[in-house]
Amino acid sequence: MERDSTKSWRWTAFWAAVVVTGLGTGLATAALMNLLYAVQHTLWPGSGLDLLDAAARADWKHHLLVLLGAGLVAAGGQALLGHLPNGNGIDVVTAISLYSGRVPAWRTLGSAVLSVVVVGMGAALGREGAPKQAGAVLANAAADRAGLSDDDRRLLVACGAGAGLAAAYGVPLGGALFALEVLRGRLALRFVLPALVTTSTATGMAWCFLPDAPTYAIPAYAGSLSIAAWAVVAGAIAGLVSTLFVRAVAWTSHHRPQGWRRGAAPVVALSVLGATSIAFPQLLGNGRDIAALAFSGQVPLLLLVVLLLLRPAATLLCLSSGVPGGLLTPSLALGALLGGVLGYPCSLLWPDMPSGLFAVLGAAAVLAATTQGPLSTVVLIIELTGQARSFILPLLIVVAVATLVARRFESRSIYDARLSDAEAKERHRRRELGT
């Protein structure tokens, strides 16, 4: 009887922690996203939810001053965070894989706030990093309060981080799969329900304060066997490009400036970005705006080619300087540009093939290959665009081929790439053992 009572209490404590994590993450995500919008609207007047139009209208002095300011904020913020306990911080993936989900609360939350501020100012990184961090911190605190085991804590922290992504983009199912497939590294059946409850609770709470609409509004594209054939070739190329991007992320993450250069690097990097953005405002922010234009076929070929080179370079420049931010949306933007370039000849030869669809498929391919999460990527694309049934066959093909090719040459994802070699090997070992 006592054993049954203890088991019942643990079951109740776990599910209470799941619900509390979802509610708290939804509220935290809404607060972080509104902070980002406030910073963006204040420093880029008239931007609303989009940065590109406002940046295109701004003069060169505005670009230089805002991005110089972003560099100073990033440098100052990192210096302040470095004086907190666990000043070097722990990446969410590292925490889940190697430390049973334990993250330093104040350092991680401070990094999340700093991230949305500098991304709102124009840093070329993703906004989803901040809500993922906030969700991880809240899940870790709930696990402490509930007295959960290390295994349950790892699961809850992964669910909390996935809930942050889900709430930020309104993708509850994709966020749940991302939490398990990418962050936790296991798609075990017993993990599914906690992930779904956490992400759906967080998304529902965030919708009380954030817009409830697909992130990308795309036309009703129709797939075909010829597009499916294109997906095979494009998927292979996307897998190779993703391998190069992951390795570049690894190199920049492991060769960040040290000493006094650590404080100067964000100022220099974001100033360079500001100067470059005068001619190419599409480089600013997380890449959502340029991906949206590519998805609707509104980007000329020459600009696609130029941004295909400059956009990932801008992201890597920010990352190498120590500026905090996410990599999911930048990866998606890279894929949209690559798909647009690869599909352009087909659109010329066969006008009935929409160029925007190639961008959508390219985005899915690169996102799947860089995150090593094919299932979560397919669902994310469906939720982010609000559709995909009509082109589900080429979508599945391009994701599968890109992921297979990327895994042939590089076993790490963009998240594993930021770990040390020893940490990456340990994470891979634990995933193989199913722990």
Looking at the structure, do residues 195 and 269 belong to the same domain, yes or no?
A: no
- Specify whether 242 is located in the same domain as 351: yes
Nearest to 265 by CA among 313, 321, 325, 323: 321
Helices (H), 44-149: 52-57, 60-81, 92-98, 105-121, 129-146
On whether both 251 and 110 belong to a single domain, the answer is: no
Same domain? For 241 and 320 the reply is yes
Q: Considering only CA atoms, which of 15, 343, 350 is closest in space to residue 196?
A: 15
DSSP state of 215: S
| Residue given tokens 């066997």 in the structure block | 225
Q: Which residues fall within 8 angstroms of residue 407, CB to CB, at 6 or more apart?
A: 372
Asked if residue 327 and residue 429 are part of one domain, the reply reads: yes
Q: 408: number of CA atoms within 13 Å, CB side? A: 12
Same domain, yes or no, for 394 and 305? yes
Residue 282, φ and ψ in degrees, nearest 5? -65, -10
Query: Is residue 241 within a helix (H) or strand (E), and if so which, with residue range?
Result: helix 225-254
Amino acid at 112: A
**Distance (Å, rounded) from C-alpha 221 to C-alpha 314?**
31
3-state SS of the chain: helix, strand, coil percent to 5? 75, 0, 25
In this structure, are residues 425 and 265 in contact, taking their beta carbons and an 8 Å threshold?
Answer: no
Beta-sheet strands, E only, within 281-340? none
Give the three-class secondary structure for 419.
coil
What does each of the 435 residues of the chain score in pLDDT, given as a tens digit? 556 566 777 888 999 999 999 999 999 999 999 999 999 999 998 766 678 999 999 999 999 999 999 999 999 999 888 877 654 556 788 888 888 889 998 999 999 999 999 999 999 999 999 999 999 999 999 999 999 999 999 999 999 999 999 999 999 999 999 999 998 888 888 899 999 999 999 999 999 999 888 889 888 888 888 999 999 999 999 999 999 999 999 999 888 888 778 889 999 999 999 999 999 999 999 999 999 999 999 999 999 999 999 999 999 999 999 999 999 999 999 999 999 999 998 888 777 788 899 999 999 999 999 999 999 999 999 999 988 778 899 999 999 999 999 999 998 899 988 776 666 666 666 666 556
Residue range(s) defining the domain that contains residue 404: 225-433
- Kindly state whether residue 217 falls inside one of the protein's structural domains: no
Within a 10 A sphere around the Cβ of 305, how many other Cβ atoms? Answer: 15
DSSP one-letter code for 281: G
Number of domains forming the structure of the chain = 2
Q: Which of 58, 74, 75 is nearest to 118 (CA)?
A: 74
Show the tokens assigned to 399.
């994701």
Q: What's the CATH number where 263 sits?
A: 1.10.3080.10
Residues 194 and 304 reside in one and the same domain: no
pLDDT the model gives residue 214: 86
Q: Is residue 107 located within the same domain as residue 186?
A: yes
**Which pTM was predicted?**
0.93
Q: Residue 287 corresponds to which tokens in the numbers above?
A: 């890449």
Judgement on whether residues 198 and 335 belong to the same structural domain of the protein:
no
Is the domain of 395 the same as that of 297?
A: yes
